[in-house]
Amino acid sequence: MAKLVVGLGNPGPQYSWTRHNAGFMVLDRLSRLADIPVTKKAFSGLIGDGNWAGERVYLLKPQTFMNLSGRSVAEALRFYKLSPSDLVVIHDELDIPFGKIRLKEGGGHGGHNGLRSLGQELGSTAWARIRVGIGRPVHGDVVNYVLTNFSKDEMESLLGILDEGVDALEMMIREGMPKAMSIFNGR
């Protein structure tokens, strides 16, 4: 069986290192480590495919901007004849402290426009999630916060966080969600 692994983010160099692009960053790290280039244009996004962690994986970076991500994902799921249960979405999460990785099956959008779009387009929220903690701003607007770059201090630990996201995905695929949740959600 195959998996569609989606990293959420916004296209364009001005967003590359913003907190809202944590999903893209984890997917880019996986792309490099697994040697699966995500460069082919399809489904209003960039896609790559290959074998990793004992599975056929399709890696997708929607290029529609966050609030329309669901269109890209729905197209890819239909094309590959996959269901939401074959989907893993990697995204930033305000309600988790910076640097923590948490796994979740299903659930609401919690105000995240990318997840809202996915739920609307798929008619379901029954997919796996890898949530990359970005924390909440101490004060100020959440929208501005998610669209600002990681701080210098945060950047120093970012590679380790991205690697942990890839490790969590690998365990989820190889050993199942319950085992991966028991390990990564307890850290």
How many domains are contained in the chain?
A: 1
119 pLDDT band (50/70/90 cuts)?
A: very high
- φ, ψ of residue 100 to 5 degrees: the values are -95, 145
pLDDT digits (tens, 9 = 90+) for 139-163: 878 889 999 999 999 999 999 999 9
pLDDT digits (tens, 9 = 90+) for 43-83: 999 999 999 999 999 999 999 999 999 999 999 999 999 99
Average pLDDT, the chain: 96
- Cα separation, 124 vs 133, whole angstroms: 23
pLDDT digits (tens, 9 = 90+) for 8-23: 999 999 999 999 999 9
- 0.95 exceeded by pTM: yes
pLDDT of 138 reads: 86
The catalytic residue positions are 20
For 85, the domain range is 2-184
User: What's the CATH number where 61 sits?
Assistant: 3.40.50.1470
Sheet hosting strand 87-93, strand order edge to edge: 40-42, 45-52, 55-62, 2-7, 87-93, 128-133, 101-105
pLDDT of 140 reads: 79
